[in-house]
């Protein structure tokens, strides 16, 4: 059962509400996932939100119904759980907030309730469906199902109680000690730990500090900035370098998108035995062979990030299916800009006005729009997809065609037939060759590749055994790209992780490229 392979993660001492500050919490979740665990994450509202809720509860006065006051206190923790689920979804992780029926059953005063029971069957079903279940800490429900509060600063009590009743391990990650120690210091939590004998796994503060891992970042995109912020939140185990000397770092992360801009520093890093994580699809497609040779010569490691195709969800599916049963064809809409231009033109806008509005909606530069106009953006992504699916992007590559190849008459004829034009990118194995093509195709409105959400992409992966997998996502979103790179960083095995203890498997190596020239 999935529940038996789960771990309770006490995140009550970490920021979980805002993307820019949630790097440490996301890293802890990903480290558990990398160990093959499912995660029950217990969260708490920020101290500021807790203070506001407490003040609002007190304003009701001493004669107010305690259940009404408890409902106010519970709302903040519920909001914290829902916010973390939304944040995890934004980073491409599948998570759900625990239904109130899964909250601990309690007895006693609604403002100082004692946890007594938990639905093991309910948790087992939830963990079968979701790899990550987010539980609001410090809340429960009485015999009638009304919300109750376990008291102030009792999110850690929820974590240890669930671990005890579900016979799971509970971990409190690095970075959460200062705030979490205050919580554990409450008498109720301390009493339960003493009575139950639950062991809370915490960082070994007495261990000799290891030398920090130096991480260099190339590129100045929003994804690069967010990743840098998250790495800084991981604590003193990392030394971040965004200077010209970044290429000399132990681990080099490349966020650039040009095929030649950073080839030399990356090649030099590989020749000197360093690890390189790249999101640069164009460089892998055009010069991946040279980088692979550099890695072989110097003993370095070249990793294609899970975000190299722009959509980590698709990269994950390809990573899994490429091993078995193997991929025969991938077809997708990898030009959100091109598709949006065609959609606006079908509504009567001129090509110029459609491009201007698309650039404003998606935050694109003139160069981005120019590449989309010719279909080059879709071909770049397709080459990265082919690399993940087939191990190579070399093959028969037709010249890409974009929105500029669709006339107003073409749009009118498609509309009369109930169809819409989309830029369709296809990579498929034909015999011993890989064929890549990109071009506008009129498709039905109910086609699986059609989406109404601006900036979204869809793909259909066909395996060698004829099975189909449909994937949806958004290209180059900072949250999902940063999360994918963070997962790549964890999978290098270089991340200091006090959450890993003796007897736990170490993270796997992941996608190490074997590119041939």
How does strand 251-254 pair with strand 327-332?
unpaired
Q: Summarize the confidence of residues 225-237 as an average pLDDT.
A: 86
Q: Summarize the confidence of residues 290-302 as an average pLDDT.
A: 89
The predicted-structure confidence for 78-92, as pLDDT tens digits, reads as follows 999 999 999 998 787
What is the reported pTM? 0.76
- Predicted local confidence at residue 209, as pLDDT: 52
The predicted-structure confidence for 9-30, as pLDDT tens digits, reads as follows 999 888 888 888 888 899 889 8
The span from the CA of 267 to the CA of 380, in Å, is: 21
> Average pLDDT of the chain?
84
Instruction: Tell me, rounded to whole angstroms, the distance of Cα 50 from its chain centroid.
Output: 28
- Predicted local confidence at residue 115, as pLDDT: 94
> What is the phi/psi pair of residue 235, to 5°?
105, -170
What percent of the chain clears pLDDT 70, i.e. is strictly above it? 87
- DSSP class per residue in 33-89: HHTT-EEEEEE---HHHHHHHHHHHHHT-TTS-HHHHHHHHHHHHHHHHHHHHHHHH
How does strand 200-201 pair with strand 169-171?
parallel
More confident residue, 260 or 374: 374
Give the model's confidence band at 494: pLDDT under 50 very low, under 70 low, under 90 confident, else very high: low
Q: Summarize the confidence of residues 59-88 as an average pLDDT.
A: 91
The span from the CA of 7 to the CA of 456, in Å, is: 33
- Closest by CA to 468, choosing from 334, 332, 365, is 332
Side-chain half-sphere exposure of 112, counting CA atoms within 13 A: 3
Q: Is the pLDDT of residue 359 over 80?
A: yes
Give the model's confidence band at 104: pLDDT under 50 very low, under 70 low, under 90 confident, else very high: very high
Lowest mean pLDDT of 22-26, 260-264, 391-395, 483-487, name the range. 391-395
Question: 326 near 391, Cβ under 8 Å?
Answer: no
- DSSP class per residue in 353-399: HHHHHHHHHHT--HHHHHHHHHTHHHHHHHHHHHHHHHS---SEEPP
Q: What own/partner pairs with CB < 8 Å and gap ≥ 24 does 114-122 have? A: 114/150, 114/188, 115/140, 115/150, 115/157, 115/158, 115/161, 117/165, 118/161, 118/162, 118/165, 118/166, 120/3, 120/165, 120/166
Q: Is the pLDDT of residue 176 over 80?
A: no
- Closest by CA to 103, choosing from 141, 149, 145, is 141
User: Three-state SS for 472?
Assistant: strand
Query: Residue 40: which residues within 8 A CB-CB, separation 6 or more?
Result: 6, 7, 8, 9, 123, 127, 133, 135, 162, 166, 168
- Closest by CA to 221, choosing from 493, 42, 489, 485, is 485
Question: 213 near 496, Cβ under 8 Å?
Answer: yes
Q: What is the DSSP letter of 476?
A: T
Q: Is the pLDDT of residue 152 over 90?
A: no
User: Three-state SS for 166?
Assistant: helix
- Predicted local confidence at residue 480, as pLDDT: 78
Q: Is the pLDDT of residue 410 over 90?
A: yes
Q: Summarize the confidence of residues 397-416 as an average pLDDT.
A: 93
Q: What is the DSSP letter of 250?
A: S
More confident residue, 155 or 362: 155
The predicted-structure confidence for 436-465, as pLDDT tens digits, reads as follows 999 999 999 888 888 777 667 888 999 999
- Helix (H) or strand (E) segment spanning residue 331: strand 327-332
The span from the CA of 393 to the CA of 21, in Å, is: 37
Give the model's confidence band at 517: pLDDT under 50 very low, under 70 low, under 90 confident, else very high: very low
Domains and their CATH numbers in the chain: 3-201 (3.40.1160.10), 213-307+479-491 (3.40.50.720), 312-475 (3.30.360.10)
* Residue 191 exposed, middle or buried by CB count within 10 Å (0-12, 13-18, 19+): exposed
φ/ψ bin of 271: left (φ > 0), alpha (ψ from -120 to 50), beta (otherwise): alpha
Q: Summarize the confidence of residues 282-291 as an average pLDDT.
A: 78
The span from the CA of 68 to the CA of 74, in Å, is: 10
């Amino acid at each position: 059962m999935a529940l038996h392979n789960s771990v309770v993660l006490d995140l009550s001492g970490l920021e979980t509400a805002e993307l820019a500050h949630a790097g440490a919490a996301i890293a802890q979740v990903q480290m558990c996932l990398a160990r093959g665990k499912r995660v029950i994450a217990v969260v708490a509202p920020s101290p500021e939100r807790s203070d506001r809720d407490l003040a609002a509860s007190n304003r009701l006065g001493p004669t107010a119904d305690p259940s009404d006051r408890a409902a106010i206190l519970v709302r903040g923790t519920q909001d914290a759980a829902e916010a973390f689920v939304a944040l995890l979804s934004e980073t491409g992780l599948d998570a759900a907030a625990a239904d109130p029926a899964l909250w601990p059953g309690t007895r006693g005063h609604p403002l100082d309730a004692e946890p007594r029971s938990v639905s093991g069957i309910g948790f087992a079903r939830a963990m079968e469906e979701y790899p990550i279940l987010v539980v609001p800490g410090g809340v429960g429900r009485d015999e009638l199902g009304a919300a109750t509060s376990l008291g102030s600063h009792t999110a850690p009590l929820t974590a240890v109680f669930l671990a005890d009743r579900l016979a799971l391990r509970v971990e409190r990650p690095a970075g959460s000690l200062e705030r979490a120690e205050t919580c554990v210091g409450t008498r109720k939590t301390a009493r339960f730990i003493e009575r139950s004998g639950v062991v809370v796994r915490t960082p070994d503060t007495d261990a000799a500090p290891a030398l920090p891992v130096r991480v260099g970042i190339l590129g100045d995109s929003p994804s690069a900035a967010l990743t840098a912020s998250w790495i800084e939140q991981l604590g003193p185990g990392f030394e971040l370098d965004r200077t010209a000397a970044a290429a000399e770092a132990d681990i080099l992360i490349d966020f650039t998108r040009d095929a030649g801009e950073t080839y030399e520093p990356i090649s030099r890093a590989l020749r000197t035995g360093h690890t390189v994580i790249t999101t640069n699809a164009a460089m892998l497609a055009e010069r991946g062979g040279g980088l692979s040779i550099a890695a072989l010569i110097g003993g370095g490691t070249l990793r294609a990030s899970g975000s190299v195709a722009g959509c980590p969800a698709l990269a994950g599916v390809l990573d899994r299916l490429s091993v078995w049963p193997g991929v025969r064809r991938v077809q997708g809409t990898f030009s959100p800009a091109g598709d949006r231009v065609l959609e606006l033109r079908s509504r009567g806008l001129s090509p110029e006005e459609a491009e201007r509005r698309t650039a404003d909606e998606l935050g694109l530069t003139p160069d981005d729009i120019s590449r989309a106009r010719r279909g080059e953006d879709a071909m770049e992504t397709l080459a990265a997809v082919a690399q993940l699916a087939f191990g190579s992007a070399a093959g028969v590559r037709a010249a890409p065609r974009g929105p500029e190849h669709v006339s107003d008459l073409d749009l009118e004829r498609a509309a009369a037939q109930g169809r819409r034009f989309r830029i369709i990118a296809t990579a498929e194995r034909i015999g011993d060759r890989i064929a890549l093509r990109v071009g506008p195709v009129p498709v039905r409105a109910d086609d699986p590749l059609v989406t109404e959400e601006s900036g979204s992409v869809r793909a259909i992966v066909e395996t060698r055994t004829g099975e189909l997998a449909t994937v949806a996502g958004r290209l180059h979103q900072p949250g999902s790209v940063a999360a994918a790179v963070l997962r790549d960083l964890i999978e290098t095995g270089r991340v200091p992780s006090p959450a890993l203890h003796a007897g736990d498997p170490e993270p796997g190596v992941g996608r190490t490229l074997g590119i041939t020239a």
